[in-house]
Amino acid sequence: MNGVTAVIRAVGVVGCGLMGSGIAEVCARAGLDTLVHEVDRTALETGRRRIRHSLDRGVERGILTSVERDNALDRLTFTTELADFADRDLAIEAVPEIEHLKLEVFAALDQTMGKPEALLASNTSSIPVMKLAAATSRPGRVMGVHFFNPVPVLDLVELVPALVTDDTAWERMHAFVGSTLGRHVIISQDRAGFVVNALLIPYLLSAIRMFESGFASADDIDNGMARGCAHPMGPLALADHIGLDTTLAVAESLYAEFKEPLHAPPPLLCRMVQAGHLGRKTGRGFHTY
């Protein structure tokens, strides 16, 4: 079979949090049969409501018609059983940025997905893709596909081949993300942080250290970059938006790989995560929400 012509029509998304729900939404809006997995019914219903709310907002803002919204909803199905992924052409993992969880998901998907040409992808923002590929019996068909939050709004996707990703799988994934989903693709080597987070996280950590040292207030740091450098938001507000737990996880992954001081998580960031002050998702971070 020519893998490039093996069109991806049936997609599975593992995880329906902020990232997974956004990925599922853009897949459904692109006309794909989209199956979404969560660990239990409560999480599944929360994710379903999140997708519906996002689609409704799209209609309110004139981005979608009500018919387009309803068609997207019709293409979405939900499950708590990974066994239902057996017929998928592609599975995209979007569980929390915790390495052992992702490894478990990839091992389970490898056992579940029945099509020999099926592709496995991770939305990881920092974990080397080769580690995930090695958890499967099909490492040549595993790669990183890193979307950005909010997925329906930000059209960038980082594509990250593992060391052993085969050319046919790569061409299929590139065509899927660029043409089927209509995303803007950039390509990164398989290094912790990839392109965007390798540049972004040291900047965020520097701002956290500045605040931690008492050099400036959170508002002044953020206003300095937003008003002085025309950034859409300041670094501490951005860290809150990303999630301080995710920011910490990416920083730890970068530091583990490169051992550079600029990647070392500041103690304040570690304590805030331990306290459950994770930013917007919990209502409290460097700012309150």
**186-196, pLDDT tens digit by residue?**
999 999 999 99
Of 93, 97, 158, 252, the catalytic one is 158
**55-65, pLDDT tens digit by residue?**
999 999 999 99
Confidence of residue 274 (pLDDT cuts 50, 70, 90): very high
Quote the pTM value: 0.91
pLDDT at residue 3, as a whole number: 42
pLDDT over 90 (residue 217): yes
- Report angle CA 209, 270, 225 to the nearest 5 degrees: 35
287 is catalytic: no
pLDDT over 60 (residue 4): no
Of 37, 146, 174, 263, the catalytic one is 146
Mean pLDDT of 164-191: 96
Confidence of residue 125 (pLDDT cuts 50, 70, 90): confident
Domain 197-274: CATH superfamily is N-(1-d-carboxylethyl)-l-norvaline Dehydrogenase; domain 2 (1.10.1040.10)
pLDDT over 90 (residue 29): yes
Confidence of residue 16 (pLDDT cuts 50, 70, 90): very high
pLDDT at residue 188, as a whole number: 96
Confidence of residue 6 (pLDDT cuts 50, 70, 90): confident
Mean pLDDT of 100-107: 96
Class of domain 3-187: alpha beta
pLDDT at residue 1, as a whole number: 41
Confidence of residue 5 (pLDDT cuts 50, 70, 90): low
pLDDT at residue 141, as a whole number: 97
Beta bridge partners of 77: 35
**193-212, pLDDT tens digit by residue?**
999 999 999 999 999 999 99
68 is catalytic: no
197 is catalytic: yes
pLDDT over 90 (residue 2): no
Q: What's the mean per-residue pLDDT of the chain?
A: 95
Of 54, 123, 125, 188, the catalytic one is 125
Mean pLDDT of 72-80: 98
Instruction: Locate the domains of the chain by residue range.
Output: 3-187, 197-274
253 is catalytic: no
Of 197, 241, 252, 253, the catalytic one is 197
